[in-house]
Amino acid sequence: MLSQPDKRFVPADMRGKVWLLNVWASWCVSCRDEHPVLVELSKKGVLPILGLNYKDKGDEAQRWLKQFGDPYQLSVVDADGRIGIDYGVYGVPETYLIDTQGVIRYKQIGPLTQAILEKKVLPLAMALRK
């Protein structure tokens, strides 16, 4: 993990929860555009947000989060892109809504906007919790 390199995360750790996986990188211009949306969502505590830091340098990623805010409960490091392959990542940013069983229920390719969050992601997340 980005902040704790000796710790490991597996998606099963989130079993029973509806959560977001956001694929991001410090070098990604579009990630900067969507980041305020994620920070605001994080402050509301509506959904757990986990980050997948994609093909990035750890020190630059940590500096970026310090500068722009850290909306993630944790960020998994994917330095070589292998985890991204498992999720079908095309590029950054991408955001996945994952249900209580670990199934991807929604995939946003490109920046997550407030409108997409309100019209698609949050209503689906609420329905999946029931």
Give the Cα separation of 116 and 36 in Å (integer). 14
List, for residues 58-117, the tens digit of each pLDDT value: 899 999 999 999 999 999 889 888 888 888 898 899 999 999 999 999 999 999 999 999
- CB atoms near residue 124 (< 10 Å): 15
Q: pLDDT category, 2, cuts 50, 70, 90? A: low
Q: What is the pTM of this model?
A: 0.91
List, for residues 91-102, the tens digit of each pLDDT value: 899 999 999 999
- CB atoms near residue 110 (< 10 Å): 15
- Average pLDDT estimate for 8-28: 89
Residue 8 has pLDDT above 80, yes or no: no
- CB atoms near residue 8 (< 10 Å): 9
pLDDT in the model for residue 120: 97
Contact 2, 78 (CB under 8 A): no
